[in-house]
Amino acid sequence: MSKGPAPTLRERLTSPVTWHYVGFCVLAAIAIVLGVRFALDWAAIDTHSTDALAGKQVQLAALRLQTAPLEGLDQRIAKTRDELKAFYSKRIPPDYSSIETSMSNLEVNSGVRLSRAEYSQGAPGQDLTEITMDAAISGDYPSIMRFVNSIQRAQTFYIIRQMALTGEQNGLVNLRIRVSTWLRPADAAASGLPATPSLSKGEAGAESGGAGAPEEQE
């Protein structure tokens, strides 16, 4: 069986089959281009999302560090209030007579002689009023040291403001001592103590501590 004549180029170009092939190739090329573009856009979006997420995580970590000191703040405040209440109950004397009794016991137990004791009160504070004792003590050196140590370790809260040697003879030491403690304002007012006299510049410079609210001793 003989074959027909081969189609010419013009016939091939005008053939529907040829145009189907051309259309398919064009659509395939468009699909490939769109696919590549989509992949590139997706990669860019994914990178941006990752960077944004990392940035948010850093911000969250920074906020956690900033708010960490505030965690449990209400419990710490309540604990501090309880400790302050316990300190006032155990270490702050209830009245002026308790201070006198405490000092008399320290005098007897240490073996010193306490004389010319003068008590006065400072300006009323919001929570406490400072009570000052200015006195002379005499005794041998070991007794003086026992008295000083007993003041620092007493249940009643005391602060030694000033000590000055006023004389020494035949093994006896004479000291002037200024000691502070505190009363609640109402108790201080009920004591009837005179106001603490103003210190001279020399006396103020010799003091070992300020006259503000007490800080608990170790």
Question: pLDDT digits over 89-109, tens only?
Answer: 888 999 999 999 999 999 999
pLDDT given for residue 217 in this prediction: 43
How many CB atoms are closer than 10 A to CB 47? 10
Task: Quote the DSSP letter at residue 182.
Answer: E
Residue type, 149: N
- pLDDT tens digits along 145-171: 999 999 999 999 999 999 998 888 888
**CA–CA distances in Å: residue 73 to residues 63, 68, 69, 76:** 16, 10, 8, 5
Distance CA 210, CA 215 (A): 10
Quick one: tokens of 194? 């005179």
125 close to 88: Cβ distance less than 8 angstroms: no
Strands 113-121 and 159-169: unpaired
Q: What angle do CA 107, 123, 190 make, to 5 degrees?
A: 65
Domain boundaries, the chain: 16-53, 93-206
Q: Could you tell me which CATH number the domain at 93-206 has?
A: 3.30.70.60
